[in-house]
Structure formats: C-alpha cells, structure tokens
Structure 1
Amino acid sequence: MSTETELSSVNSILGAIGQAPVSRIYQNEDKTLVYLNPEIAFVHNLLMDVNTDVQTEGWVFNTEYCYEMLPNDYNEINIPPNVIRLDKSEGQVYRDCDPVKRGTRLYDKYHHTYKFNRPIKLDYVFLLEYAEIPTVFQRLVTLRASGRAATQLVSNPELTQMLSMQEAQARAACMEYECNQSDSSFFGTPSGVSYRSYQPYRTLQR
C-alpha cells in the first residue's frame, strides 16, 4: 500500500514534468492492487529507486553503530533484510575479521568462511520505509526523482537544470540536518562517548 507521503511525492514529480496529479497510486483489479497506468508505475518506481540511492549513503537517521549480532545454531549470522550496508564496528582498530554481506548471511573475508564462533558488533545502514525518513530527505528524494523523470520522460534541458539547482538546495538542507543531529567530532571518539573541549570561561571559576 502506498502512504500519503509517497502519493504526495509522486504528485510532485508529476507536477514537475507537467502532468496532472492523481488521487491514488494503485487500483483494485480482481482483488489485486495494480498501478493506475504505466506512467504512475514508472514514477513510483523511480521514487523508490532514488530513496534507496539516498539512504545507501548512510545518514544519521538510518545508521546504527555497535549492533551486536549472535551466531545461530549453525554458527552463522543472518543479516536483517533491510540492511543495505554494514561494516565491523571499530574495524580499523580490531582487524581480527573482515565481515561483508553475502545474500542474507555474514561472510568473513579474512578467514574465508560463513562461520562465526562468537558474537560480533557491526555498524549497520538500514533501508527505511519512505514514510519513516526525515522530511528534508523526502524532499531531496522527490527532487532528485523529478530530475530523473524530466530527463527520461520529457527531455527538457532547462527543466532538468532548474530541478538540479533545487536538488542542490535540498541536499544542503540534508547536510545541515546531518551536522545538527550527528554530533560528530573529528577527534574520533568511540560511539557513545562525548568530548568536552577546553572552555576559557572555566578559568574564572577556579
């Protein structure tokens, strides 16, 4: 089922290329949900593709660190289906294994095996539903999908250039969101550890 945010984004894309909005994405035919028409199907699939592309970059809202995974009865670790990227937590320090995602399982390239004898902590990038991502990222996804639709369906260079400018502004808003929410530090402190720098006014308190 399509959510309201998906429908509004599809209508924004249709409006960007000069098409009329729709009231729904799917229709019921013989108790089966199908797209209204091929153009709606193309635009909606374009929106979902761009949503995946943007989230694959790994942002503060869909990245989780030190996610502990336990081996199953076969000493294998199954990866959640909505994980699109992963890496070993603090793998640049502890290089005892090199895990990668292969299918639904975790594979150790260092030991060339799917077997893990102990728990492992991983950094995950999750693919969230479109309705779950922050509004600024929904805007970025919509504008980028609009640019692709303008290129593939309309072939209007001026429209594509204008949408590219709007996409750049939306990405700047996403970067501002990322900086505000991530509380990042170039000191490289571990996840969950805060660093309090020297503040001159504290000298007066002594």
Structure 2
Amino acid sequence: MADLPSVSTKLEAINTMLGAIGSSPVQSLTVSVDGDVTTALTILDETLKEVLSQGWDFNTDTRYPIARTIDNEYLVPSNVAAIDVSDEHPEVRATQRAGKMWDQENHTFTWDRDLTFNITWLFPFDELPQTAKNYIALKAARRFQGRALGSDNLGKYAENDEMEARTIFLDAEGVDAQHNILTGNYAVYRVLNRRV
C-alpha cells in the first residue's frame, strides 16, 4: 500500500494538486494566485460537488424537517445537492424548482401540510471526514494533472492513488453508515421508491 497524503485543509489539497504537476506549494489561498492555483481551485470545487452529490452517510439526512414560509412554501437551502420528499409521505409528488419545492400534483409552490425531506448536503471541504478529503483531493489531483500535463504514465500513478483513497473512503463510509439491506439503507429506498 502506498503512502497516501493526509489532506486536512483546502490549502493542503491545492498543494497536493500542484505537486502532481511538479509545481511549488503555495502558502495561502487568500493572496493573489496564479493560473495553476486558480485552475486547481476550480477543479477541486467541481470534484467536491460531484462526489458529495452522490450522497453519502455523512452528508445525507432523512426525514429532515423544513419549516414552511409565511406563504406556505418550502424554500430549499442553498447548500442542498439533492432533495426529495421523505418516505413518510409516499403519496406526495414534489420536485425542486427555482429554489423551492414544487407540488407536481397540484402545480403550485404552496403547500397545505408539513412535510419532511431526504436531503443530500454540499459541505465545504474543511468540514468533511478525513477519508472523504483524501479521496476528493487525490481525485482532483489526477484530473488537474491530466488537464495540465496530459501524461499517461503520470496519470497511472495518480489513478492508483485515487483508487486506493476511494477504497479507504468507501470502507470508512460503510462502517460509519452501518447499512443493512432491510433497514436504514437510504440508497435502497431511493431505488425502490422511484416514481414512474
């Protein structure tokens, strides 16, 4: 097993990415940054959103209450990657539109009842579990390296590190989630409860 970097901050992630193309590390992300750093930040943010949007135990809440506004609308928080009405309300058909929950049966944003939701959250990099940070940083580093250098040989090493970090992340996620095929498995619920 290779020695994978332990990435704890966004700055460390960016420096891991810069190291993948042979660039020197930076001391701060708040001062004026060069093109490589700007590109690395963009790729890290893209990768972060992509990975978190898949929905993991650490960033998914089930049956999460959202209070209705004075206009009886459900406003979707800005850091939500995915939202759906929870299994407590199987008869409700809703979707997200314009930052609110849309009633697909009655064609309105106005609701006459309290609902709970299954939500996948987007979190800042620094708030993630350590194994998720490592995986996202190495995935972003491989992408950054591929775009900056386009080297197949270097890409193989980066890909191996990424796969190892993904395996460690998935192992930790499985232990934390304590999934059971019969109970407490939101992923299975989502598959079985798809609406036609």
* TM-score, length basis structure 2: 0.85
Matched, 1:22 2:26: yes
1:58 to 52, 55, 60: 55
Q: Percent identity of the aligned residues?
A: 23
SS of 1:142 mapped into structure 2? helix
**Paired position in structure 2 for 1:114:** 109
SS of 2:65 mapped into structure 1? strand
Matched, 1:100 2:104: no
Letter in structure 2 aligned against 1:121: T
SS of 1:171 mapped into structure 2? helix
**Paired position in structure 2 for 1:183:** 178
Question: How many Å separate the matches in 2 of 1:62 and 1:135?
Answer: 13
Matched, 1:8 2:19: no
**RMSD of aligned residue pairs (Cα, Å):** 1.7
Question: How many Å separate the matches in 2 of 1:190 and 1:6?
Answer: 31
- Please say which structure displays the higher CA radius of gyration: 1
Q: CA deviation at 1:164?
A: 1.2
SS of 2:25 mapped into structure 1? coil
> Is 1:71–1:117's contact at 8 Å kept on the other side of the alignment?
no
Letter in structure 2 aligned against 1:167: E
Q: CA deviation at 1:89?
A: 1.1
SS of 2:9 mapped into structure 1? helix
Question: How many Å separate the matches in 1 of 2:154 and 2:184?
Answer: 45
Q: CA deviation at 1:190?
A: 8.3
SS of 2:120 mapped into structure 1? strand
Question: How many Å separate the matches in 2 of 1:169 and 1:122?
Answer: 34
SS of 2:91 mapped into structure 1? coil
Higher relative contact order (CA 8 A, sep 6+): 2
> Is 2:10–2:125's contact at 8 Å kept on the other side of the alignment?
yes
**Paired position in structure 1 for 2:129:** 134
Letter in structure 2 aligned against 1:9: A
Number of residue equivalences: 179
Matched, 1:70 2:67: yes
Matched, 1:155 2:150: yes
Q: CA deviation at 1:26?
A: 2.6
- 1:31-63 Cα offsets, whole Å, 9 max, x none, are xxxx41121111111111111111111111111
Question: How many Å separate the matches in 1 of 2:169 and 2:106?
Answer: 39
> Is 2:76–2:99's contact at 8 Å kept on the other side of the alignment?
yes
Q: CA deviation at 1:111?
A: 2.7
> Is 1:86–1:123's contact at 8 Å kept on the other side of the alignment?
yes
Q: CA deviation at 1:68?
A: 1.4
